[in-house]
C-alpha cells in the first residue's frame, strides 16, 4: 500500500475511494453454529445483502475484506479464527454475529466456549440476538458501511481502529459521526 | 457367512439374549435392564472384553456394528462405561454397561478397540470428558475434544465451571427452585403471561387471558407482583419455631393472599384515573356481582371497553 498509511487522501478522492470500498465487501463467513443459517438467509433472495455490495463468495481469507463470525466459538476453534483473520489483508473488518460470538451467549459458563470472539480478534460491529434475524445482519452491514464511508484509510491501515459499534446499544445510525 | 446373515425374524428376544449371555459369561453378567426400549446388560469389569467379543462373534447375537461408547458419572461409586452395539442382521440393539475399577480417583476400563475399531475415538472422548483410562487403547492422548492444555474432566459432576464460581446463574428461574422450606416451587405458565414487546402482542395476550381464565387455586393470582411478595410476608409467623412446616406454609399463603388483596385494592384506588378510564364499568360490576374474581372481571371489562372503542372508531 506504500504511502497510504502515511498520507491522508484528499477529501474528494477519499470519498470516492471509500464509496467504492464500502460497496464491495468481499465477505468471508465463519459459520460456526445456527447463526450461520441466518447469515445464509441474509444472503439469499428475500434479504439479499448482495444488493448492498456484500459479496459472500470470497475464495478464502486472503481475498476477503469482511469476516463475519457467526456462531459459537470454542477454545478449540479459536486458533483457526485467529489465523484466518491474520491471513486477511488490511483494511479488514469483523462483524460478530449473534450472542455466542459476542460474549459466549447461552454458553456463558461452558468449559469449552470462548466468551466472545473479541478476546482474540478486534471486532467492528456487534450484532446481538440469539440468533439475530437476517435484518439485524443487514443493519450491521449498513452500520459498517457507514463507518467505512467516513473513515480515514490512513488510520485504518496504520492499525488505528475506532471503537466497535454495538447494534441497539449505541446511538442510532443517523446520529453517529454526524451523518 | 450364512451364520452371520441371520434373518430378522430369528432375532433373539431380550430374555433369550440374557439366557445366552448368562450361559457364556456366568457370574460376569450382573443383571439386565429393559428400559425405554433399550436392553442394557450390566457386566463385571473382568467380563467387559469377553462380553463385547461374545456379542460380536456369537452367530445368534451378531452385533456387528459398534454404535457408540460413553461414560456416566455414578457419583460416589465411580464411573460407568456404556457401549451400544447394533446388529445389522437381526436389527437388535444392546447396551453393555460396566462399572470402572479404581473408583473416582483412577477409573479404568479395559479397551475394546481390538474388537471394535470404532471404539478408538469414543474411548478417547470418554477419557477426555471423564478421565476414564482405557488400558489397551493404542493411543489415548492427546486430548481430542478439549484444548490440549485443558485441565480437569469437564463432564464429571464435581467439575467446577469457572464462570459459575465467579458469577451466579443469571437466569430468572432455576429448573428446580426451592422455597425456604425446601419445597419445589411449581410454576405453571398460563396463556398470555408473557406478551411480546408490541401493542398488538399485548392486546392479543389480554384477549387470550380473557378467553382462558386461569384456574383459581387459592385466591387471585397476581403474577406481576410475584417477585416482591416474599419480602412483604417475611415478618409473618415464620419466625415462630414451634409452628410446623405445614402450618407455616398455610399461614404464609394466607398472608400472601392478604398482601395481594391489599395491593389489588390499592391499585384499584390508586391509579384509578388510568385504570378506570379503560374499563367498561357496567361489565365490571356485572361480573363482580356474578362472583367472578377481580382479575377476570378487570380483563373482561377492559376487553369490552376496547371493543366498544373500536366500534366507535369504526362508526366515525
- Tell me the pLDDT tens digit for each residue of B170-207: 555 555 666 777 776 666 667 777 676 677 778 888 88
B125 pLDDT above the threshold of 90: yes
B104 within 8 A of B80, measured Cβ to Cβ: no
* DSSP notation for B100-169: PBTTTTS-B----TTT-TTHHHHHHHHHHHH--B-TT-S---S-SSS-TT--S-TTSTTPPPHHHHHS--
Task: Note the pTM of the prediction, 2 decimals.
Answer: 0.64
| Of B198, B185, B56, residue with least CA distance to B118 | B56
| % of chain B at pLDDT higher than 90 | 36
Tell me: pLDDT of B126 over 90. yes
Q: Closest Cα of chain B to A6: distance in Å?
A: 41
10-residue mean pLDDT profile of chain A (179 residues): values are 74 91 91 92 91 87 93 93 92 92 89 91 92 91 91 80 82 50
Of the partner residues B146, B147, B161, the one whose CB lies closest to the CB of residue A109: B161
- B121 versus A108: the higher-pLDDT residue is B121
Residues of A near B (Cβ–Cβ under 8 Å) read 75-76, 108-112, 115
Q: Which residues of A touch B144 (CB under 8 A)?
A: none
List, in order of start, the domains of chain B with CATH numbers: 2-157 (3.30.460.80), 219-315 (no CATH)
Residue B77 CA to residue B102 CA, distance in Å, equals 10
Instruction: Kindly write down the DSSP assignment for every residue of B62-106, as one continuous string.
Output: ---EEEEEEEEE-GGG-EEEEEEEE-TTT--EEEEEEEPBTTTTS
pLDDT at position A1 is: 52
Best mutation target among B150, B156, B163 (most A Cβ atoms within 10 Å) is B163
Global ipTM:
0.76
Q: Are B106 and B131 in contact (CB under 8 A)?
A: no
Of B147, B152, B164, the CB nearest to A109: B164
Confidence of residue B225 (pLDDT cuts 50, 70, 90): very low
Residue of B nearest to A75 (CA): B147
Mean pLDDT of the region B272-283: 63
Express each pLDDT in B47-75 by its tens digit: 999 999 999 999 888 899 999 999 999 98
- For B240-264, the pLDDT digits (tens) are 445 455 666 667 677 777 777 776 6
Q: What is the pLDDT of residue A76?
A: 92
pLDDT score, position B235: 41
Asked if B146 lies within 8 A of A110 by C-beta distance, the reply is no
- Residue B289 is predicted with a pLDDT of 82
Contacts of A112 in chain B (CB under 8 A): 145-147, 154
Considering only residues B278 and B140, tell me which one the structure prediction assigns the higher pLDDT: B140
Residue of A nearest to B160 (CA): A111
Radius of gyration of chain A (CA): 16
Quote the cell numbers at residue A123: 471486532
Cell of A106: 447461552
Residue A62's contacts (CB-CB under 8 Å, 6 or more residues apart) are A87, A88, A89
With a pLDDT cut of 70, the percent of chain B lying above it is 73
Chain A residues within 8 A of B169 when measuring between CB atoms: 109
Distance from CA of A58 to the nearest CA of B (A): 29
Place of cell 366500534: B311
Best CA proximity match to B32, nearest among B18, B45, B53:
B18
Mean per-residue pLDDT for B149-153? Answer: 89
* Closest Cβ opposite residue B161 in set A75, A76, A111: A111
Provide the sign of the torsion angle of the four alpha carbons B242, B248, B252, B255, taken in this order: negative
Q: What is the mean pLDDT of chain B?
A: 78
Q: Is there a contact between A109 and B159 if contact means CB atoms under 8 Å apart?
A: no
Partner-chain residue, chosen from B147, B152, B161, that has the shortest CB–CB distance to A75: B147
pLDDT at B10: 77
Residue B234: predicted pLDDT: 42
3-state secondary structure of B21: helix
The CA distance from A83 to B65, in Å, is: 39
Q: In a mutagenesis test of the B interface, which of A109, A110, A114 is the best target, namely the one with the most B β-carbons within 10 Å? A: A109
Walk across the sheet containing A54-55 and list its strands.
A54-55, A25-31, A66-70, A93-97, A125-127, A165-166
Amino acid at each position: 500500500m506504500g504511502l497510504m498509511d502515511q498520507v491522508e487522501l484528499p477529501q474528494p478522492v477519499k470519498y470516492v475511494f471509500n464509496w467504492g470500498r464500502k460497496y464491495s465487501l468481499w465477505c468471508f463467513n465463519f459459520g460456526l453454529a445456527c447463526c450461520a443459517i441466518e447469515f445464509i438467509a441474509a444472503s439469499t433472495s428475500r434479504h439479499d445483502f448482495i444488493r448492498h455490495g456484500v459479496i459472500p463468495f470470497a475464495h478464502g481469507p486472503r481475498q476477503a475484506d469482511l469476516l463475519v463470525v457467526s456462531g459459537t466459538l470454542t477454545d478449540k476453534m479459536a486458533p483457526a479464527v485467529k489465523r484466518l483473520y491474520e491471513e486477511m489483508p488490511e483494511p479488514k473488518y469483523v462483524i460478530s454475529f449473534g450472542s455466542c460470538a459476542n460474549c459466549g451467549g447461552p454458553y456463558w459458563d461452558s468449559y469449552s466456549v470462548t466468551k466472545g470472539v473479541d478476546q482474540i480478534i478486534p471486532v467492528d460491529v456487534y450484532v446481538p440476538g440469539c440468533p439475530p434475524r437476517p435484518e439485524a445482519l443487514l443493519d450491521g452491514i449498513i452500520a459498517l458501511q457507514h463507518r467505512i464511508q467516513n473513515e480515514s484509510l490512513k488510520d485504518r491501515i496504520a492499525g488505528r481502529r475506532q471503537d466497535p459499534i454495538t447494534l441497539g446499544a449505541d446511538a442510532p445510525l443517523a446520529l453517529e459521526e454526524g451523518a | 457367512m450364512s451364520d452371520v446373515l441371520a434373518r430378522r425374524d430369528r432375532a433373539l428376544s431380550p430374555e433369550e439374549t440374557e439366557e445366552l449371555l448368562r450361559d457364556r459369561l456366568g457370574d460376569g453378567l450382573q443383571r439386565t435392564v429393559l428400559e425405554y426400549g433399550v436392553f442394557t446388560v450390566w457386566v463385571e469389569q473382568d467380563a467387559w472384553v469377553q462380553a463385547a467379543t461374545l456379542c460380536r462373534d456369537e452367530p445368534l447375537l451378531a452385533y456387528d456394528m459398534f454404535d457408540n461408547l460413553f461414560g456416566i458419572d455414578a457419583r460416589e461409586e465411580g464411573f460407568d462405561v456404556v457401549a451400544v452395539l447394533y446388529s445389522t442382521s437381526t436389527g437388535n440393539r444392546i447396551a453393555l454397561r460396566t462399572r470402572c475399577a479404581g473408583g473416582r480417583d483412577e477409573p479404568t476400563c479395559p479397551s475394546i478397540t481390538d474388537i471394535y475399531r470404532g471404539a478408538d475415538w469414543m474411548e478417547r472422548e470418554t477419557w477426555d470428558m471423564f478421565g476414564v483410562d482405557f488400558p489397551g487403547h493404542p493411543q489415548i492422548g492427546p486430548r481430542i475434544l478439549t484444548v490440549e492444555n485443558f485441565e480437569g474432566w469437564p463432564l464429571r459432576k464435581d467439575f467446577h465451571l469457572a464462570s459459575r464460581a465467579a458469577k451466579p446463574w443469571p437466569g430468572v428461574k432455576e429448573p428446580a427452585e426451592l422455597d425456604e422450606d425446601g419445597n419445589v416451587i411449581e410454576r405453571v405458565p398460563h396463556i398470555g403471561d408473557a406478551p411480546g414487546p408490541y401493542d398488538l402482542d399485548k392486546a392479543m395476550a389480554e384477549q387470550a387471558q380473557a378467553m382462558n381464565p386461569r384456574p383459581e387455586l387459592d385466591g387471585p393470582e397476581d403474577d406481576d407482583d410475584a417477585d416482591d411478595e416474599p419480602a412483604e410476608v417475611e415478618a409473618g409467623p415464620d419466625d415462630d419455631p414451634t409452628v410446623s412446616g405445614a402450618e407455616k406454609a398455610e399461614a404464609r399463603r394466607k398472608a400472601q393472599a392478604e398482601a395481594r388483596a391489599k395491593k389489588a385494592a390499592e391499585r384499584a384506588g390508586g391509579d384509578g384515573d388510568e385504570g378506570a378510564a379503560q374499563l367498561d364499568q357496567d361489565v365490571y360490576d356485572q361480573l363482580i356481582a356474578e362472583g367472578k374474581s377481580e382479575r377476570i372481571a378487570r380483563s373482561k371489562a377492559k376487553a369490552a371497553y376496547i371493543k366498544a372503542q373500536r366500534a366507535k372508531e369504526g362508526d366515525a
